[in-house]
Amino acid sequence: MTFDKKVAIVTGAGQGIGFEISKQLALQGATVILNDIDTALAQQAAEAITAAKGHCIPLPGDSGDISFIRQMVSTAVTQFGRLDIVIANAGITLFGDFFTYTPEAFNRVMQVNLGGTFFLAQAAANQMKQQAEGGSILFMSSVTGHQAHKDLAAYGMSKAALEMLAKNLVIELSPYKITVNTIAPGATLTERTLDDPSYEKTWSGLTPMGRPAYTQDIASAALFLVSGQARHITGQSLIIDGGWTSISPSPF
């Protein structure tokens, strides 16, 4: 796979899966606009990728904010002349018991996970349509959009909805040669999950392949789906979980 002369936006990429996707895209030739809501994280991530000889600029901001979404697309076009790839990786997880889950928590999850993804796809697709050269859009779902998970009703609902969004957008985007797909990671070792000292051991025992995913496992699949090798794949969701959803043992 090569991404020479391609321009990409990756949201929620200050660390973890988003960072690894950004790094791999940049190291394979893409110019990456790296977004994170945390300014320091975005800056550090972009500097690390640049130090590794990748072309990456930070663009901190709230990926659930409509005006900022438009700014991201505008930045790509103004600074680099085009936009070829968008990976809507940003999302938030707000655990909570269904009986007491607050409207504030529900609305924030939907604003970022659904609204942010929907309107980023809209802004990006309008730009790709103008370019008339196709493009690739990728959403970040989760295994919790496929299997019930305690205290994640709102989050799981948002992730399942993203997969339906990708299917529906096939109708809208295919005439312009724009692909739209979704990946659904399972348990993955990131800075956040490693805050739990039992996480790796627990999920190694629950995952048929004997370990959680590494961020590289997720990034490899993401890069394939936004590459030229996947130009005839659209409206699909790929689960990357080491087999967990086949048997679905709960960690609780």
* Residue in 6, 142, 155, 158 annotated catalytic: 155
* Model confidence at 94: pLDDT above 80: yes
Nearest one of 185, 140, 161, 170 to 234, comparing CA atoms: 170
- Please confirm, yes or no, whether 155 is among the known catalytic residues: yes
- Looking at the chain, the whole-number percentage of residues with pLDDT higher than 70 is 100
Please give the model's pTM, rounded to 2 decimal places.
0.95
Q: How confident is the model at residue 81 (pLDDT cuts 50, 70, 90)?
A: very high
CA Rg value for the chain: 17
Contact at 8 Å (CB) between 79 and 57?
yes
Tell me which residue of 183, 153, 145 sits closest to 17, measured CA to CA: 183
> Domains in the chain, ordered, with CATH?
7-240 (3.40.50.720)
Per-chain mean pLDDT for the chain: 96
Q: pLDDT tens-digit profile of 120-155?
A: 999 999 999 999 999 999 999 999 999 999 999 999
CA distances from 186 to 37, 70, 142, 216, 233 (A): 23, 30, 6, 13, 22
Amino acid in the structure at residue 108: R
Catalytic residue chosen out of the listed positions 141, 142, 227, 237? 141
Contact assessment for residue 207 and residue 186, using Cβ atoms and an 8 Å cutoff: yes
Q: Which of 6, 136, 142, 159 is catalytic?
A: 159
How many Å apart are CA 65 and CA 106, to the nearest integer?
A: 16
Binning pLDDT at 50, 70 and 90, where does residue 63 land? very high
Report how far apart, in Å, the C-alpha atoms of 221 and of each of 45, 148, 193, 218 are. Answer: 21, 24, 20, 5
Encoded tokens for 207 = 């995952």
pLDDT digits (tens, 9 = 90+) for 211-236: 999 999 999 999 999 999 999 999 99
What pLDDT, on the 0 to 100 scale, is given for residue 183?
98
How confident is residue 1, by pLDDT bands cut at 50, 70 and 90? confident
Helices (H), the chain: 16-27, 39-51, 66-80, 103-109, 117-131, 153-173, 199-206, 215-225, 244-247
